[in-house]
């Protein structure tokens, strides 16, 4: 996580649930939500990595708890949401971030690789969104933020038919649920990150990085905190009239 100064909002008394919170973007978003005053339910499958996220939040003065969950399992998702509400009485912010890749050209892509990506990236978001819908409707407030990608509904990416389809599906889910829940003061928006600096991008090599940067008018990769900044804004009261949109964070790559 970067030490760069980023925007802050006041999320005191809010409860946030972040899936895929054990590393990368999910960890950055969970920590930033905690630093902004929200109680954070950190959801993932890796207990050790989740513990690191929780410790980062608690050590900075925030409140957080880890919840182990396979986001593609309906019963497990229901149990997590019920446990969060039992502990903190409500859930106000849902960040559907959990995602995996199983890259390969379509002609050689296995059924298992297709199903694994769609189940985690899209089914998981559906299950958590469904689970928080009634509680948010009853309290007449909610912020649902889906982490899509420019490689889904914006541009394609060879070798990622399953990933792109899942992220495009998230955009369709976003727009439909935004219409269904908007009258209850619940907003549903999607963020479409471009190429964000991470351990994965560092591993591809300097030559590939140069080619990536040529496609980006900003001439650099994005940073995790730049995505987290947008999450904080969309989670805040200030974003109450923003609903059903897809916002790229890509340095102009798709402009």
**Band (57; pLDDT cuts 50, 70, 90):** very high
Q: What is the mean pLDDT of the chain?
A: 94
What pLDDT is recorded for position 2? Answer: 45
Q: Are strands 63-68 and 93-96 parallel, antiparallel or unpaired?
A: unpaired
pLDDT confidence of residue 210: 82
In a domain, 254, yes or no: no
Question: What integer pLDDT is reported at residue 74 of this predicted model?
Answer: 98
What would the pLDDT profile of 73-90 be if each residue is shown by its tens digit? Answer: 999 999 999 999 999 999
Asked if residue 185 is part of any domain, the answer here is yes
CATH number, domain with residue 203: 3.40.50.720
pTM of the model: 0.94
5 in a structural domain:
no
Say if residue 68 is exposed, middle or buried (CB neighbours under 10 Å; 0-12, 13-18, 19+).
Answer: middle
Residue 99 included in any domain: yes
In this prediction, residue 154 carries a pLDDT of 80
Q: Is residue 8 part of a domain?
A: no
> Has residue 27 been placed in a domain?
yes
Q: Which residues of 150-185 are buried (b: 16+ CB within 10 A; e: fewer)?
A: bbbbbeeeeebbbbbbbbbbbbebbbebbeebeeee
Rounded average pLDDT over 206-223:
86
- Specify the range with the lowest mean pLDDT, choosing from 167-171, 192-196, 205-209: 205-209
- Owner of token pair 């982490």: 147
* 202 within a domain of the structure (yes/no): yes
- Would you say residue 4 lies in a domain? no
Instruction: Give me the pLDDT at residue 7, please.
Output: 65
Residue 90 is part of which domain span? 15-249
Determine the average pLDDT of the residues in 121-144. 98
Domains of the chain: total:
1
The answer to whether residue 200 scores a pLDDT higher than 70 is no
Query: Does 71 have pLDDT greater than 90?
Result: yes
How much of the chain, in percent, has pLDDT values that exceed 90?
85
40 class by beta-carbon count within 10 Å (0-12 exposed, 13-18 middle, 19+ buried)? buried
How far is it, in rounded angstroms, from Cα 253 to Cα 234? Answer: 22
Catalytic residues: 163
Q: Reply yes or no on whether the pLDDT at 1 is more than 90.
A: no
């Amino acid at each position: 996580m970067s030490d760069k100064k980023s925007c802050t909002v006041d999320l005191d008394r809010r409860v946030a649930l972040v899936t895929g919170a054990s590393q990368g973007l999910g960890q950055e978003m969970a920590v930033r939500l905690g630093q902004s005053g929200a109680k954070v339910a950190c959801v993932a499958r890796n207990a050790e990595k989740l513990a690191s996220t929780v410790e980062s939040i608690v050590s900075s003065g925030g409140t957080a708890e880890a919840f182990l969950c396979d986001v593609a399992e309906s019963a497990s998702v229901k149990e997590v949401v019920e446990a969060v509400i039992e502990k903190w009485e409500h859930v106000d912010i849902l960040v559907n971030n959990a995602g995996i890749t199983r890259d390969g050209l379509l002609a050689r892509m296995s059924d298992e690789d297709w199903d694994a990506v769609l189940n985690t990236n899209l089914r998981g978001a559906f299950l958590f969104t469904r689970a928080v819908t009634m509680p948010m409707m009853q309290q007449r407030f909610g912020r649902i933020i889906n982490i899509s990608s420019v490689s889904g509904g914006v541009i394609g990416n060879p070798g990622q038919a399953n990933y792109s389809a899942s992220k495009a599906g998230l955009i369709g889910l976003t727009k439909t649920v935004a219409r269904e829940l908007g009258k209850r003061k619940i907003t549903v928006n999607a963020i479409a990150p471009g190429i964000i600096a991470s351990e994965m991008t560092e591993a591809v090599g300097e030559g590939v990085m140069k080619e990536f940067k040529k496609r980006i008018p900003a001439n650099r990769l994005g940073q995790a905190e730049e995505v987290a900044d947008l999450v904080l804004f969309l989670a805040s009261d200030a974003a109450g009239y923003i609903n059903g949109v897809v916002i790229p964070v890509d340095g102009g790559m798709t402009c």
